[in-house]
Structure formats: structure tokens, C-alpha cells
Structure 1
Amino acid sequence: MELQTLFKPQPTLVLDNYQVSTDNVFIQANTEPMSMYDVEHNHLIPVYVKDNEPVISHQDFINSTLEVVNHVYKNEQILHPAIRVSHPIKGRTPEAKDKPAKDLLEHEKTIYYERMAFVIEIPTIRDNVNGNTLNLTIGGVKSYSLDNLYSKKGGDEHFKVFIGFQNKVCCNLCVWSDGFVGNLKANNVNQLMQQIYKLITNYRAEQQLLALQNLMNYSLTEHQFATLIGKSKLYNYLPVKEKKELPLLSFGDSQINMVARDYYQDKSFCRNDDGSISLWNTYNLFTGANKQSYIDTFLDRGVNAFDFTNSVVQALESKQGNWFLN
């Protein structure tokens, strides 16, 4: 069966007339919001230099994902994509080639963005963890820098795609490895849609929700949390051999500093009166700090936030110790 037949467009139920997937930013660092209209109508599409063939554009990626989501969840409310972009590539029209930049008129400027992230929210599929509403969310990341645009079209292009939940208290994304493909390769839209479909249909929301709920069953004392923060700052300076024996932590110093700050200051996920903090709150401090990641590392770090927190759960369950807590 051809893909176009499999994914026959379905009517989309949209909240209000035009409600975007999140009112607050899901990623902040070095990004700016962009409407789908701007992406489709005001941005150039890069090409392969040697044959002038177009890449799978940002709008192709978003619309392909949206079409798959419409097919799989055709009876659910599906909100419009929320889009963030970074790394603008600017140009100008030929008639403006000799103008100083400050004198360029709007119609003489051209632009596209090298990197893009988007999310599509399905608010009718949701659950609750510790009073926090979690809505099912699908999205992806595209960076043209990962593709060899100086060659001919024909090789694979690279994408990152996820399905997970968004915490509506803070718009933090809850992404884990079973709902994430960090190096999805495709050389046409049909291949891209097939692989997005495979990810979505293989995803088991119940398993992720149980894992997130389980974080509420464990807490760190103030001393344990302080030790975790201190060891996290030491981690990046460990000898390679020692680091390989430990759970991966892909967060940098500035983000660890944010976790430490928000342990005291975050309105929703700060410490308890006795200094203890649940691993659910700890996890959300990490996913909150992850919003300061660049688009390239955003989803990978989101997955690492869960894996790292879950490694602490396993240490507490087994009582065998953990370098980050000892």
C-alpha cells in the first residue's frame, strides 16, 4: 500500500479556531518563535549545491509529522504546531546586491533558519502526576548542518523525532528513549513519514507514565541532593576511563547551576520544608534546565534527564550506592 493512501488526510479537531500547542516556550536558548505561515511563505528552502535539488524542508518535516499524527489520532484534539528556530541564514535579492545592509527594504531580504524544533500537542490524551497535567506531545528537531548540502541529492537527511508528554505546569518535555529516535534518516518525505509512523505506533504511553509516576516514590535528603549537585559539577572533569563507568550526564555547568538555584526558588518543584526533594521534582528541575539547551542537543538531553534520574531510582532501590550520591 502506498504511503499517500495509508495516510489519507483526516479532519483535525482543533481547540478554538487556532490554538497553538503550548502557550509557553518549550525551549528557550538561542531560539525565537515562528508561525507556520512564516515558515511556509517567508523562508527560502535550501538546496544541494551540485544539482540544485531541494532538501526535505522544515515545513515538509512539520507537515509530514502532522499528517501522521492526524492519521493515528484522528479522533483526538490536535493543536497546531509550536515552532522555534535558530541560526538564521540571511540573504538578499539580486536587485539589492549593492545596498548597505541598513538600507535594505523588507522585500529585498531573504532568510531561512538552519535549525528548527517543533511540538504538536494532543490535550485529549493526558494523565496526572503529583497534580501536574501531562499532555501527549509529538515533535522533532531538524538541523541542516547535519546534512551534506555541498553534494548532490540522494543521500540520507537527518532528523530527530520524539513522542512523550509535556508537563503543563511548566511546559517541560518528558522524553525517554522508547519514544525517541535521535538519528532518523530519510531521503524523501515518504520514508520520513513511514519512520515517524513506526515510532508513534510502537510507543507505549502507559509504560512511560508508570515510570514517571514511580519517581514520586523516591526522595533525596538535602545532603544527598547537595552531593548530587557537587558530583555533577565534578563529572565533566573526570578522567575518561572513570567517566565511562558512571551513568551518562550530558548537562553542563550552567544547567547544573540552574538545577541548584531552582531547588530553592522554583515555585512548583523546589525542596520540601525539611530540605528533601522527590525524584519527580528533581527530574523536572533537570528538564527545566534543559530548556536552555541549544536545539541540537535539546532532545538528547531531555532523554538523558530521565535516564539519569532513573539511575538514581535504581541505586535507591538496590541500595548498592551511586557515585553521584556517595
Structure 2
Amino acid sequence: MENELMRLHTQPETRLTVTRNPEVDQQSTSSAFIEANTLSVSLSELQQDHIIPVYVKDNEPLVSQYEFIETTNAIVSSIFKGEQILSPSIRCSHPIKGRIPDAKDKPANQLQDWEKTLYYERMMFVIEIPSIYDTIEGNKLNLTIGGVKAYNLDNLYNKKGAAEHFKVFIGFQNTVCTNLCVRTDGFLGDLRVSSSEQLHSAIYQLLGSYDQHLHLSHMQSLAEHSISEQQFAQLLGRCRMYPHLPSAQKKQIPELLYGDSQLTSVCRDYYKDVNFCRQEDGRINLWKLYNLFTGANKSTYIDQFLDRSVNALDFSCQMLDAVKQASTMWYLG
């Protein structure tokens, strides 16, 4: 494992140079990496003010969202010792409100703060390392680690020792727009563990197996190829058709996890996005198109956000292969 972790920092670079800049701001960007219906929450608030769900059968607690973040933060601090590491940025959604037993008969408008209980069903966080970065098309990309804890994925009607669900990733954040760039080998989408120790081990292994240079190389390649306005129109139409195809036909076509609302955002921003809109002749390179998809993904709920992030890059790379080889792709006609 030690060799794998060293590779994360020292693997020979064939196309891109990952630059380390120790003189960076201590504060992370105030822009949200995910929007949807989420709220910004501080780490201290998670620790001090939010109750922890328990298993119904034995009243034992699940791994708390605070513990998940602290475990990840400790691993990041250990592996990337000496790098600039920003404090976690946390977004939560789907509040679960309650009250203490002594206040069960009080009208809601008469409840005191200390009589109320709260936790959020879904939480996502990112830890940014701006001293490890690269630039594509003038967009600065910072190495970023994070995860999702969504209690709606867990079976709370169980007892301690049952598997809990987590999502963990390592990738890059585009500082121009705070879009997250996540690749398959940097993502654990269905991590199931029954203890904090297992969680720690899984996160450690993920960070050790991630190939940041290959990830950057793939994204750089997207910037080198474009599609025409006609191809974009064909792509968007076929993307809207995809969910309604017969199941047998879907199996022969690259999967797309984006729905109508996200595709509407992609179409709008093709014309209007300041950073990633089309050229004057209607052409758009695949790096910009990829960012239109990751930007549209910000309207996704927390529990599906990372899956769509990975899907955006997979989908864009499949388009890249079709454009490079001048081959047929169903979405492009």
C-alpha cells in the first residue's frame, strides 16, 4: 500500500504536469459544489447539534456523518502531509426534525431550541487540496476528496453490525465553476461497511489506487476534439429519447443518467454559459460539453450526485472515441 500511495504523488507524467503551489488561500470557495435543495452546514454543527440515527433493534448508533468526515480528513492529512488542505465543505438535505419527550405536547411555535432535535438524512462533503492542481483550457483543477452519507440507503430496522452505505470519491474540482470531475477508478459508489475501521480501510485503499495522471490525461483529450452544432442538436435529441427506448435497445447504447431538467440546463448553457458556451460557428469542444453536463448535475439530489458525475465523464469519453475514430455513435447519429 505504501508504494501505491507514493505512486499517487510520483507516477511519471507523460502529457501533463501536476503543479504544487504552497501559496494558496486557506479559505475554500463560497460557491456550492452542489445546489439542488441543499444547505451549507459547518462541521461543528454536525458534531454538536445533530442527533445520530440508531438501529431500531438495539438502539446502537450508526456511523455519524461527523465521524465519516473526520475519518476521511484524518486519512487525507496523513497521505497528503505537507500539502495545502482546506477545511471540509459540507452540504446537507432532507432534514429530519423531532423533539424531546418532555415537549411532546407543546405547540410547535412554543418549542424552545433545546427541545428540538434535528439531523439531515443526506450529507455530502468535499475536502479540497489546492496545492495539487493542473490547468485545462485555462480552468484550474484542484485535487478533491469527498463522500456521501445518505441514511435513506441504510436499513435502520436492523441491529448494530449491519452494513452501512457510503459513497467516497477522489477527483478534481474545476475552480472556475466548482464542478466536480470524478472518474470510475476514483469512486466507490456502493461502499458497504459495518464498522469505522472497515470504512477507514476502504477510503485508504481508494486513495492509493486512484491514478490522477490518467484522469487528467482523459480530460485534456476532451479539449482537443469538438462536435458541430448539428451534432450537438442530434446529441440532445437522442439523450431525451434514451429513457424511453425499449430495454433491449438500451443495452446496446452507452448509459446516460441525466433527465429532462438536466438536459434543459445543458441546452441553455450551450448558448449562455460564460465559460463553456459554443463558439461563434456553433462548434463546442468536448471539455466544454463535459462541463455543461457536470454543471447541470448540480441540480441533482445528494444520493445520486456522484453517480451522475462519473457518468458524465464516461459518456464524454465515449463521444471522444467516436469523434476520434470517425465512427458511429447512436447519440451523434
TM-score above 0.5: yes
Q: How far off its partner does 1:156 sit?
A: 1.2
How many Å separate the matches in 1 of 2:284 and 2:320? 13
Q: Say whether 1:62 aligns with 2:42.
A: no
* 3-state SS of 1:142 partner: strand
- 1:34 aligns with 41
- 1:113 aligns with 120
Q: Out of 295, 298, 302, which is 2:302 matched to?
A: 295
Deviating 4+ runs (over 3 angstroms): 13-16
Kindly report which structure 2 residues correspond to 1:7-18, keeping only aligned pairs within 5 A, or say none.
Answer: none
- 2:165 aligns with 158
- 2:132 aligns with 125
How many Å separate the matches in 1 of 2:24 and 2:291? 27
Q: Say whether 1:236 aligns with 2:222.
A: no
- 1:196 aligns with 203
Deviation digits for residues 123-149 of structure 1 (CA, Å, limit 9, x no counterpart): 000000000000000000011111111
* 3-state SS of 1:67 partner: helix
Q: How far off its partner does 1:100 sit?
A: 1.2
Task: Provide the TM-score with structure 1 as the length reference.
Answer: 0.94
Q: Which amino acid aligns with 1:285?
A: L
Q: Which amino acid aligns with 1:77?
A: Q
Q: Say whether 1:266 aligns with 2:273.
A: yes
How many Å separate the matches in 2 of 1:297 and 1:196? 19
- 2:4 aligns with none
How many Å separate the matches in 2 of 1:251 and 1:309? 13
Q: Which amino acid aligns with 2:69?
A: I
Q: Which amino acid aligns with 1:121?
A: E
How many Å separate the matches in 2 of 1:270 and 1:43? 41
Q: Say whether 1:45 aligns with 2:46.
A: no
- 2:329 aligns with 322
For these two proteins, the number of residue pairs brought into alignment is: 312
How many Å separate the matches in 1 of 2:23 and 2:302? 27
Structure 1 portions without partners, runs of 5+: 1-12
How many Å separate the matches in 1 of 2:167 and 2:184? 12
Q: How far off its partner does 1:57 sit?
A: 0.6
Query: Could you tell me whether the CA contact under 8 Å between 1:15 and 1:79 is conserved in 2?
Result: no
* 3-state SS of 1:291 partner: helix
Structure 2 portions without partners, runs of 5+: 1-21
Deviation digits for residues 154-213 of structure 1 (CA, Å, limit 9, x no counterpart): 111110000000000000000010100101111111110111000001111110000000
Q: Say whether 1:280 aligns with 2:284.
A: no
> What is the aligned-residue RMSD (CA, Å)?
1.3
Q: Out of 74, 84, 88, which is 1:77 matched to?
A: 84
- 1:141 aligns with 148
Q: How far off its partner does 1:151 sit?
A: 1.1
* 3-state SS of 1:217 partner: coil
Query: Could you tell me whether the CA contact under 8 Å between 1:232 and 1:324 is conserved in 2?
Result: yes
Query: Could you tell me whether the CA contact under 8 Å between 1:22 and 1:121 is conserved in 2?
Result: no
- 1:24 aligns with 31
How many Å separate the matches in 2 of 1:15 and 1:268? 23
* 3-state SS of 2:56 partner: coil
- 1:3 aligns with none
Q: Percent identity?
A: 55
* 3-state SS of 1:257 partner: helix
Deviation digits for residues 77-107 of structure 1 (CA, Å, limit 9, x no counterpart): 1100000001111101222111111221212
- 1:305 aligns with 312
- 1:7 aligns with none
Q: Say whether 1:90 aligns with 2:111.
A: no
Q: How far off its partner does 1:15 sit?
A: 6.5
How many Å separate the matches in 1 of 2:52 and 2:304? 23
Kindly report which structure 2 residues correspond to 1:181-260, keeping only aligned pairs within 5 A, or say none.
Answer: 181-260=188-267
Deviation digits for residues 106-128 of structure 1 (CA, Å, limit 9, x no counterpart): 12111001110000000000000
Q: How far off its partner does 1:14 sit?
A: 11
How many Å separate the matches in 2 of 1:217 and 1:54? 50
Q: Which amino acid aligns with 2:270?
A: Y
How many Å separate the matches in 2 of 1:29 and 1:68? 29
* 3-state SS of 1:134 partner: strand
